[in-house]
Homo-oligomer: A and B are copies of this chain.
Amino acid sequence: MGPNTLSVPMALFGENRNRLVESVKADVNTPAGSIILLQGGGDQGVCSGDSSDNGPLFRQESYFHWCFGVLEPDFFGAIDVASGKSTLYQPRLDEDYAIFMGHVPTLMEVKERYRVDEVIFLDEMPDHLRSVALVFRPNLLILEGLNTDSKKISRSASFDGMSEFEIDRKLLHPHIAECRVVKSSYELDVLRYASKISCLAHMEVMRTIKPGMAEYQAEATFLHHVYFYGGARHVCYTCIAASGPNGAIQHYGHAGAANNRIVHEDDMLLFDFGAEYYCYTSDITCSFPASGKFTKNQSIVYNAVYRANRAVLAACKPGVMWTDMHLLANKVVLEDLHSAGVLKGNVSDMMDACLMGRVFQPLGMGHLLGLDIHDVGGYLDGNPERSQLPGLKYLRTARALKAGMVLTIEPGCYFIDYLLDSALADPELNQFLVKEKINEFRGSGGVRIEDVVAITESGTEVFSKVPRTVQEIEDWIGGDNSFMENWK
């Protein structure tokens, strides 16, 4: 991208295509003469009903990007299953394009840039597809599958003349989604970089934001740092720059709650920010006191969540069930709230009553991460189904961990009035709650400590390195650079 930024090798996408072809080929249901055909994202404009001539900056659709790494809109791409040969179909641009949009790359230039076997104009695609497969009616493997986070169906390729081909919409999706779940070492390099630049920006934010500033000034600082220094033009989700009570709002920062509260001296801050680099994402949350020094109650909640984060980190390795990690994090937080006198009774009874999921952490403890912030493949057929229990039902996967997965570990503890009130009125739950202690935490928002980790053969590699202990955070905000000196 620019000075001192990561150069992404196109071999990343070549290897992805090879992995996909191997997987599809090994499937006994794949007919001879099959071609994988994907349609890239288009520049059709805005969905919000706006008729203006300015839409959001184009960002490639993730499945297409995973296969081809193409940054421009309106391409199609094909992979012949038998030969592994890859073809990009480039839109034919007119002369005005050169004036308004810049140099129109030739077919050869596109081929050089993206390292595919062939580049053809899009209007010649139907004829070309017939010639590639060497059969009279090639079988097109088209992507169609449910995204279990958005509940949307992935875009299916569609073009004039499609009816002259055999079309299979079932076979491709589980193969490509499963391939995306396990990251190659090329992909790990980019994901590691996206987290690295995000961490440096988080650390800048920790030293920039002061009481009296608006929350959005933290967002502005983060966005600037990852772009100016890291070359990351996009973030993969709207920045959550929550102060005080807003820390309890899971998706704070959207247009209706636009990071515009003024930060107070006694606030906890919860900043959930992640850069995206070459469409590979990061997702890191730092929680710290606006004053730079933890109060006693702030450190009770913080340390409970920190201990949960580290307990999960220590336990993660191939074969471990993600649901167990969620429950482990819940249990550690409950233990610490119990020790601090915020809860009473027996922790295993609290677990049986789903106290975390119903009150203090009504969402999942972490998720797969890759080209999407909530990456695909969480509930593919053949894997455990979604639990219907509180908290667990929002967990974005229930799978066993596998080397090459990248996930966030993001336990949290939130004080949500609406849930606290319900719990205090519920005899099954209020037996555990020390009302007067709980009231001390009302309005304080919440704490989330979110790291990005890769699962290795033996355990984990942590991609997000930021000050995490109370001491590290206080030292860093206080101007002590020793954390940075050990940073790599």
- Residues of A near any B CB (own CB < 8 A): 1-3, 39-62, 71-73, 95, 98-103, 147, 149-150, 152-155, 212-214, 216-217, 219-221, 223-224, 227-228, 231, 233, 236-238, 246, 249-252, 254-260, 262, 362-363, 372-374, 416, 418-419
Which of B60, B101, B260 is the one whose CB lies under 8 Å from A251? B101
Please tell me if the beta carbons of A48 and B59 are within 8 angstroms of each other in the complex: yes
Which of B39, B48, B52, B53 is the one whose CB lies under 8 Å from A43? B48
Closest to A230 in B: B220
The interface residues of chain B lying within 8 Å CB-to-CB of A252 are 101-102
The interface residues of chain B lying within 8 Å CB-to-CB of A246 are 102
Tell whether A3 pairs with B48 under 8 Å between CB atoms, given A71-B258, A100-B249, A224-B223: no
Please tell me if the beta carbons of A45 and B47 are within 8 angstroms of each other in the complex: yes
Tell whether A233 pairs with B258 under 8 Å between CB atoms, given A48-B43, A49-B61: yes
Q: A47 to B95: give the CA distance in the assembly, Å.
A: 26
Q: A147 to B50: give the CA distance in the assembly, Å.
A: 10
Please tell me if the beta carbons of B48 and A61 are within 8 angstroms of each other in the complex: yes
Which of B2, B95, B257, B416 is the one whose CB lies under 8 Å from A262? B2
The interface residues of chain B lying within 8 Å CB-to-CB of A237 are 54
Please tell me if the beta carbons of B51 and A58 are within 8 angstroms of each other in the complex: no
How far does the Cβ of A354 sit from chain B's closest Cβ, in whole Å?
Answer: 15
Count identical subunits in the complex. 2
Closest to A228 in B: B220
How far does the Cβ of A5 sit from chain B's closest Cβ, in whole Å?
Answer: 8
The interface residues of chain B lying within 8 Å CB-to-CB of A41 are 48-50
How far does the Cβ of A237 sit from chain B's closest Cβ, in whole Å?
Answer: 5
A and B contact pairs by CB, cutoff 8 A, 8 listed? A2-B260, A3-B213, A40-B49, A45-B47, A49-B155, A53-B373, A100-B250, A217-B227
Q: A302 to B222: give the CA distance in the assembly, Å.
A: 36
The interface residues of chain B lying within 8 Å CB-to-CB of A257 are 101-103
Please tell me if the beta carbons of A101 and B256 are within 8 angstroms of each other in the complex: yes
**Most B Cβ at <10 Å: residue of A216, A219, A246, A418:** A216
How far does the Cβ of A65 sit from chain B's closest Cβ, in whole Å?
Answer: 10
Which of B45, B60, B238 is the one whose CB lies under 8 Å from A152? B45
Please tell me if the beta carbons of A152 and B59 are within 8 angstroms of each other in the complex: no
Tell whether A418 pairs with B98 under 8 Å between CB atoms, given A1-B260, A52-B373, A61-B50: yes
Closest to A217 in B: B228
The interface residues of chain B lying within 8 Å CB-to-CB of A418 are 95, 98-99
**Most B Cβ at <10 Å: residue of A48, A224, A260:** A48
Tell whether A227 pairs with B233 under 8 Å between CB atoms, given A52-B374, A102-B257, A249-B101: no
Please tell me if the beta carbons of B228 and A52 are within 8 angstroms of each other in the complex: no
Q: A403 to B372: give the CA distance in the assembly, Å.
A: 49
Q: A47 to B363: give the CA distance in the assembly, Å.
A: 28
Q: A51 to B212: give the CA distance in the assembly, Å.
A: 39
8 more CB-based (< 8 A) A-B contacts, given A54-B237, A58-B255, A103-B257: A2-B216, A42-B47, A42-B49, A53-B147, A59-B255, A99-B363, A101-B257, A102-B257
Closest to A2 in B: B214
Please tell me if the beta carbons of B99 and A362 are within 8 angstroms of each other in the complex: yes
Q: A57 to B241: give the CA distance in the assembly, Å.
A: 14
How far does the Cβ of A443 sit from chain B's closest Cβ, in whole Å?
Answer: 12
The interface residues of chain B lying within 8 Å CB-to-CB of A52 are 62, 147, 149-150, 152, 372-374
How far does the Cβ of A420 sit from chain B's closest Cβ, in whole Å?
Answer: 12
Please tell me if the beta carbons of B1 and A216 are within 8 angstroms of each other in the complex: yes
Q: A363 to B362: give the CA distance in the assembly, Å.
A: 55
Please tell me if the beta carbons of A54 and B372 are within 8 angstroms of each other in the complex: yes
Q: A58 to B55: give the CA distance in the assembly, Å.
A: 11
The interface residues of chain B lying within 8 Å CB-to-CB of A59 are 48, 50, 255
The interface residues of chain B lying within 8 Å CB-to-CB of A254 are 57-58, 101
Please tell me if the beta carbons of B72 and A255 are within 8 angstroms of each other in the complex: yes
Please tell me if the beta carbons of A102 and B249 are within 8 angstroms of each other in the complex: yes
Please tell me if the beta carbons of B150 and A53 are within 8 angstroms of each other in the complex: yes
Tell whether A100 pairs with B251 under 8 Å between CB atoms, given A47-B45, A224-B220, A227-B216: yes
How far does the Cβ of A47 sit from chain B's closest Cβ, in whole Å?
Answer: 5
The interface residues of chain B lying within 8 Å CB-to-CB of A250 are 99-101
How far does the Cβ of A283 sit from chain B's closest Cβ, in whole Å?
Answer: 10
How far does the Cβ of A258 sit from chain B's closest Cβ, in whole Å?
Answer: 7
The interface residues of chain B lying within 8 Å CB-to-CB of A103 are 257
Closest to A260 in B: B1
The interface residues of chain B lying within 8 Å CB-to-CB of A155 are 49-51
Q: A286 to B378: give the CA distance in the assembly, Å.
A: 48
Q: A161 to B47: give the CA distance in the assembly, Å.
A: 23
Please tell me if the beta carbons of A58 and B53 are within 8 angstroms of each other in the complex: no
